[in-house]
Structure 1
Amino acid sequence: MTSPIRPAARENSRVALVTCELFPDLWEDDFPLRDSLRERGVHVDAVSWDDASADWAAYDLVVIRSPWDYVPRRDAFVAWARALPQLLNPADIIEWNTDKRYLGRLAEAGLPVTPTDFVAPGQTWTPPASGEWVVKPTVSAGSQDTGRYQLPAQRDLAEAHVARLLAAGRTAMIQPYLAAVDTVGETALIFTPDAGGELTLSHSIRKGAMLTGPDEGTIDPGSEQITPRTPSQAELDVASRVLAHVPGGAARLLYARVDLIPGPDGDPLLVELELAEPSLFLSESPGAATRLADAIVSRL
């Protein structure tokens, strides 16, 4: 078990919580984390990832939280991450997880992933004959450039959406719309390290459906309908299997969010494994911010 840091050592510690110019003082859900760290004597700053004046070397740890404007500059974001050895989560995880093609790799490993077709620039896409489908880019955040289409009625709109992504040099991904999200909702399981450093379930929440139609664009953070949820054993089992396939091992992670929706047979399917910059819904669970703050202090 990691030994607790003496108060004097904490007072000399500096942590940067990474954000962007859209939220210069952090996204509001991270306020409890900031405050909990300060209560432990840690000096905390909110710093935009692309702030040219930032002195990253002055921080003992750099923790990614809400740099949600990186999407059109992902290469620059990954390069920034790779320059910071004290970054959490680590830079190679950031690179792997900010391109949703990782879902294909997890599916190849035998995990229960939402069926996904990937269409890269230069390839063609033949829409399914019928059904409800989701189209989005493999690099996105906050449901940017994401749409829901009923085929065949909205075939032209779906084709235009894919063509628009490909013309911009982006890879498109097409998934069946999982109808259970409209009733059961989506379960997000949030994991943080325990006192012994083992990634453990901190809390979980239910998210309501967000997509209502074609290419809705950016959905504002905080517009989701969030309520606490106790995950089922099946959801816990899938989350455990998914985390076991994190490159380099889940023990390196400061946080992880596993998003699941029941498939047509009722069994949970992985929608996303969020390791880069997810909302952690710290305000939705008493003690969640405290647990994450303790994990950060243990890494100092």
Structure 2
Amino acid sequence: MTNHHLTTRGEPRVALVTCTELADLDPDDRLVLTPLAARGVRVEPVVWDDPAVDWAGYDLAVLRSPWDYMSRRDEFVAWAARVPRLVNPADVVRWNTDKRYLDELSAAGVPTVPTGWVVPGEPWQPPADRGEYVIKPAVSAGSQDTGRYDLADPLHRELALAHVHRLGAAGRVTMVQPYLTAVDTAGETALLFLAGPEGLAFSHAIRKGPLLTGPDEGVEGLYKPEEITARTAESAELEVAEKTLAAVPGGSGRLLYARVDLIPGPDGTPVLVELELTEPSLFIGYADGAPDRLADAVLTHLARA
């Protein structure tokens, strides 16, 4: 059995929190191991629901790829509350793992994709405007249980109803959003922010190509493959990102990382589709110096701890 109770005097010990399926970490996350070792940090991948782990034995626990919690969110949130020196913090985890946080950000003035919610047991009819819509659960990741529906197509309307009913029958809240067609051309921009001495600082950006081609037909594995390329962030995107981070409950200064996902809206201006504060891919392999910046962000939080 792995001994999770060992500590080395004078050597900070950091857990990179993952899941059983990625016990050796996602390949992108492994890029930070060498920079952390060069900074004198002992780092270990640790599975979040391993009962043998003594979390108090770590100087810092960094959420990275616990991508199997979606069907056990309550368990995951309760676990996070028990882990000392967890980043991002447990209250952020609770808030950010249910996408109804989008309503709070919209109320705070963040330009956000319009979103409707369907709670289990509530009747729902597809919107009458017959455009394209995205349907997915409020607790989700990696496009799991997510579908794109053209409501001008009678079959798609039936499939959309079935999708909402299926999620509701499983006790899951459904979110319904208009499909932003700009994702098919401009793509989605993810802006990555990492902790520095004065709080979160912009690190790099990437472009994600479109993923959804039609109704949900079930997903095998943890995530779908994505088309990722480096991207230069535009000033309008950075402005929306800064406004989003300013609205995070408790302030963004406590965060080790943040990912702000934006798509051009109907008028071409960027709108928020997701704010990822719990377990986002950070795409550090797509920007020069990003692995070192993530390692420095970990050091920043070790100093605070």
Bin of the TM-score, shorter chain as denominator length: over 0.9
Does the 8 Å contact 2:192/2:202 carry over to 1? yes
1:157 counterpart SS class: helix
Residues 111, 252 of structure 1: CA spacing in aligned structure 2 closer, same or farther, 3 A cutoff? Answer: same
Q: Which residue of 1 aligns with 2:211?
A: 210
Structure 2 matches for 1:1-300, cutoff 5 A?
12-129=11-128, 130-153=130-153, 154-194=156-196, 196-218=197-219, 221=223, 223-300=225-302
Does the 8 Å contact 1:11/1:43 carry over to 2? no
1:175 counterpart SS class: strand
Does the 8 Å contact 1:11/1:42 carry over to 2? no
1:22 counterpart SS class: helix
Per-residue CA deviation, residues 165-185 of structure 1 (Å, 9 max, x unaligned), is: 011110000000100000000
Note the C-alpha offset of 1:10. Answer: 9.1
**Farther off after superposition, 136-145 or 122-131:** 122-131
Q: 1:201 is aligned with what amino acid?
A: F
Residues 296, 103 of structure 1: CA spacing in aligned structure 2 closer, same or farther, 3 A cutoff? Answer: same
Q: 1:40 is aligned with what amino acid?
A: R
Note the C-alpha offset of 1:36. Answer: 1.3
Note the C-alpha offset of 1:85. Answer: 2.5
Once residues 39 and 216 of structure 1 are traced to their aligned partners in structure 2, the CA distance between those partners, rounded to angstroms, is 45
Structure 1 vs Structure 2: percent identity of aligned residues? 61
Once residues 10 and 37 of structure 1 are traced to their aligned partners in structure 2, the CA distance between those partners, rounded to angstroms, is 17
2:193 counterpart SS class: strand
Note the C-alpha offset of 1:12. Answer: 1.5
Unaligned runs of 5+ in 2: 1-7
**Structure 1 residue runs of 4+, over 2 Å off?**
216-222
1:265 counterpart SS class: coil
Residues 10, 296 of structure 1: CA spacing in aligned structure 2 closer, same or farther, 3 A cutoff? Answer: farther
**Farther off after superposition, 225-234 or 247-256:** 225-234
Per-residue CA deviation, residues 219-263 of structure 1 (Å, 9 max, x unaligned), is: 754711111111111111100100000010000000000000001
TM-score (norm 1): 0.94
Does the 8 Å contact 1:117/1:173 carry over to 2? yes
Note the C-alpha offset of 1:19. Answer: 0.3
Per-residue CA deviation, residues 91-122 of structure 1 (Å, 9 max, x unaligned), is: 00000000000001111222110000001012
Once residues 146 and 36 of structure 2 are traced to their aligned partners in structure 1, the CA distance between those partners, rounded to angstroms, is 35
Number of aligned pairs? 291
Does the 8 Å contact 1:61/1:86 carry over to 2? yes
CA-atom RMSD in angstroms: 1.4
Once residues 210 and 11 of structure 1 are traced to their aligned partners in structure 2, the CA distance between those partners, rounded to angstroms, is 46
Unaligned runs of 5+ in 1: 1-8
